[in-house]
Structure 1
């Protein structure tokens, strides 16, 4: 039995449930997490559900043959693995990004420091580390001393299913203004204010600045207000459009499809689902060259733009103009990565590898 430790608030959770239900033996999979609407998740795929606040959690940690930790966030699980290191031999840590970049967080609480120390002690003993990119694999080795076998990870996204993506009108019909989106969430690693400063030279142009600020970490509403206020101070309230309401996957894709330009000034691996969706929508996308994502997308055959280019532009046309062939190549590269068959193969390889090694 595979025990999946995956929270309900992950953007991947529901689609991952559906994929397992449709393409794998769901009797082999049980989920451990906080699921406020347990009935809804059971209906999605019929897999077993164990609430992480339940006293059954230790039982399932022992009963399972394999444990897949989808993001090392659950403090109860980290503590359990630290105190019972013999459980680590059946673990696969799927690195989400935020679970390792917390290492660089300033002013960490004492609790955060303690659990980071625990993670550094258990990471070298975990036999499998799954990552979205080669860059994250190198970081988890350097920062946490990981020594296990590196496997690939990829999740299906609700807004990237083939039928929905193919139905998009990517023509970007003539509009009365240019729509620019900055970042993916109300987290400081988006570096919103720096990105807004880059666009300051275009404040008198006919543009709208869209700010997705509908989720984040901790007291993210305070950060969202700070970013919104700063944007308004530069561009005026009539040009700033903060997104504060939650949208369904389909609604969010339509929202992204209305954008002409995407600025992702994130200083770490983050917003990859949003970036993928923006490329599929045919937008011109800018990211930082100094993150793992730059080489990751290049490796996939997707050529995004260096966000530092913006400071050298002398017109709004330079900001939005995209080579037609480059756009089509990027869409093709990203479409190939969203193929459900590829995602099934990636997870089948992970499951089979863990089973085969256990049988040796």
Structure 2
């Protein structure tokens, strides 16, 4: 039995391949990556005996023809992110749809609401409306995203519960959220230099509060994303928050980022859709108080599992004391829940079940 994986280049993909390499068992996995990957060294011994190749982007017709051959010869194609390659493949060869399984990443679902308003993106969305209902199976974590998939695209296929292994295992880090008055309290805002973080709204809300009575530092990671936007946000943050504001432009390794997150006290996410889930999970596992917008599927996901996250939209009505108050016992309980469910062991169990189910369908 063979599964072909069409996988994007990212740190999450790298970790997924490391886990896949030691849990292949009787299934043969063949992995197709984008040309010249930045995060994945295909010669790495960590990937064991996995067959990995890079997928050329030079000629679209040849690329789709090549992908068609792979799909025809394999049992299943797992599309990790629904990109144009899969869209074009299924537009040209709809009979292959029964072999395709889509593992949702987020942006590939929310393209409908975040796309530019031009003819190219309009045509892509029309293609998605035609292709997505043909796909028989989808893997995802967040319940609300599945409901949106059905609502927006009329999807009626089978859903598999899945999550990608996190680049840094959650179980190896301790909980610490000490907010004693004499200590500097660190508030993290957003996770990247992407406009979807809606940084300005949070800066304005925080600037409206009486922060002078508190020893607070507001930290904003801007190393990933749009450099021009990063510069604009850094300047805006300084203009509103002064010396309390600290933008970060340096890239960090996974271990350094975990240590960095361990020094935060409050994490505020202001995305209007499910986004930054890995950062949220890391923060919760470290015992941090996390704010997420209540109009997102992420918020509903955590609430449905009795994991306490707080509403970003309510911050403007809170006092500084309420904003910062954290129940240490509750934080430890949440950390335990997160580490248990999102452990590598549970992730491997879900992926094995997914592979077994799709090969038997």
When the two structures are superposed, what TM-score results if normalisation uses the length of structure 1? 0.90
Report the Cα offset of residue 66 of structure 1. Answer: 0.5
Output the CA distance in 1 between the equivalents of 2:346 and 2:91.
34
1:178 and 1:208 in contact (8 A); partners too = yes
Report the Cα offset of residue 337 of structure 1. Answer: 1.6
Report the Cα offset of residue 16 of structure 1. Answer: 0.5
- Determine helix, strand or coil for the equivalent of 1:298: helix
Report the Cα offset of residue 91 of structure 1. Answer: 0.9
Instruction: Map 1:186-205; keep pairs closer than 5 Å.
Output: 186-200=193-207, 201-204=209-212, 205=214
1:261 counterpart = 2:262 = no
Instruction: Map 1:122-201; keep pairs closer than 5 Å.
Output: 122-162=131-171, 164-165=172-173, 168=174, 170=176, 172=178, 176-200=183-207, 201=209
Q: Deviations over 1:8-40 (max 9, x none)?
A: 12x311111111111223861111121436644
Output the CA distance in 1 between the equivalents of 2:200 and 2:234.
9
Output the CA distance in 1 between the equivalents of 2:107 and 2:43.
24
Report the Cα offset of residue 160 of structure 1. Answer: 2.7
Output the CA distance in 2 between the equivalents of 1:285 and 1:311.
15
1:212 and 1:242 in contact (8 A); partners too = yes
1:203 and 1:234 in contact (8 A); partners too = no
1:170 and 1:257 in contact (8 A); partners too = yes
Report the Cα offset of residue 173 of structure 1. Answer: 7.4
Equivalent position of 1:67 in the other structure? 77
Output the CA distance in 2 between the equivalents of 1:106 and 1:31.
28
| Moved beyond 6 Å, runs of 4+ | none
Report the Cα offset of residue 176 of structure 1. Answer: 4.0
Report the Cα offset of residue 41 of structure 1. Answer: 5.3
Equivalent position of 1:228 in the other structure? 234
Instruction: Map 1:1-360; keep pairs closer than 5 Å.
Output: 1-9=2-10, 11-25=11-25, 28-34=28-34, 35-36=36-37, 39-40=41-42, 42-45=44-47, 46-53=49-56, 56-73=66-83, 75-105=84-114, 107-162=116-171, 164-165=172-173, 168=174, 170=176, 172=178, 176-200=183-207, 201-204=209-212, 205-216=214-225, 220-236=226-242, 238-314=243-319, 316-357=320-361
Report the Cα offset of residue 249 of structure 1. Answer: 1.3
- Determine helix, strand or coil for the equivalent of 1:210: strand
Q: Which moved more, 1:13-22 or 1:206-215?
A: 206-215
Consecutive unaligned residues in structure 2, runs of 5 or more: 58-62
Equivalent position of 2:60 in the other structure? none
- Determine helix, strand or coil for the equivalent of 1:310: helix
Output the CA distance in 2 between the equivalents of 1:26 and 1:247.
37
Instruction: Pick closer, same or farther for the CA change 1:186–1:285 going to 2, 3 Å.
Output: same
Output the CA distance in 2 between the equivalents of 1:196 and 1:106.
26
Q: How large is the RMSD of aligned CA atoms in angstroms?
A: 2.0
Output the CA distance in 2 between the equivalents of 1:196 and 1:95.
31
Report the Cα offset of residue 105 of structure 1. Answer: 2.0
1:26 and 1:47 in contact (8 A); partners too = no
Output the CA distance in 1 between the equivalents of 2:356 and 2:224.
35
Report the Cα offset of residue 286 of structure 1. Answer: 0.7
Consecutive unaligned residues in structure 1, runs of 5 or more: none
2:175 and 2:332 in contact (8 A); partners too = no
Equivalences, count:
347
When the two structures are superposed, what TM-score results if normalisation uses the length of structure 2? 0.90
Report the Cα offset of residue 309 of structure 1. Answer: 2.8
